[in-house]
Amino acid sequence: MSRLAICPGSFDPITNGHLDIIRRGAKIFDHVIVTVFNNQSKAPLFTVEERIELLEAATSDLDNVTVDASSGLLMDYAKEKQAHAILRGLRAVSDFEYEMQITSMNRKLNEDIETFFMMTNNQYSFLSSSMVKEVAKYNANVSDLVPKPVETALQKKFLKD
């Protein structure tokens, strides 16, 4: 049976930390769908379309990874896609409580779909989209933190302001 995982997130924008989780997940699962969920509580820098484009560019070498977007409930989406698992990354202890809360709620909604956590690579422990946006605003070099297309997109975004 082909094993499908959904890797959900805001991806505003994708960082090398996200990409590491996606790459490693793609070795474990037969197919990974990276799905942009528009988190209403966060004011995004990139539109959903822009985030999809950047995700597609960053994962173009991974044959079993596709990119999608949804504005619905994650567990409804996962069921509709007939996914077996949700794939999330864990950085520091600070991620843990938040992830525990979401996971236990998701399990209540659908106990057939498991959530899998992968520990980040140490080099990405303190890397987040918000940190990248914060420093990119001041023209800092983010080439080690994000895929090349994201670096270019950030430069364009902040050049406009």
Residue 126, classed as helix, strand or coil, is: coil
H helices within 59-147, ranges in order? 74-80, 93-109, 129-136
**Among 46-54, 84-92, 136-144, 152-160, which window interacts with ligand ADP (CB under 6 A)?**
84-92
Strand partners, 36: 9, 69
**Among 17-25, 45-53, 72-80, 146-154, which window interacts with ligand ADP (CB under 6 A)?**
17-25
| 95 lies in the site for ligand ADP, by CB under 6 A | yes
Binding ligand ADP (rule: CB under 6 A), the pick from 120, 136, 142, 147 is 120
| 88 lies in the site for ligand ADP, by CB under 6 A | yes
Closest approach, Cβ 91 to ligand ADP, in A, equals: 5
Q: What is the number of other CB atoms lying within 10 angstroms of the CB of residue 93?
A: 7
DSSP state of 113: S
**Among 26-34, 78-86, 127-135, 152-160, which window interacts with ligand ADP (CB under 6 A)?**
127-135
Q: To which H or E segment does residue 130 belong?
A: helix 129-136
| DSSP-assigned letters across all residues of 16-74 | HHHHHHHHHHHHHSSEEEEEEE--TTS--SS-HHHHHHHHHHHTTT-TTEEEEEESS-H
Closest approach, Cβ 115 to ligand ADP, in A, equals: 10
Residue ranges in contact with ligand ADP by CB under 6 A: 9-11, 15, 17-18, 21, 39, 88-91, 95, 120, 124, 127-129
Residues marked as catalytic:
18, 42, 91, 129
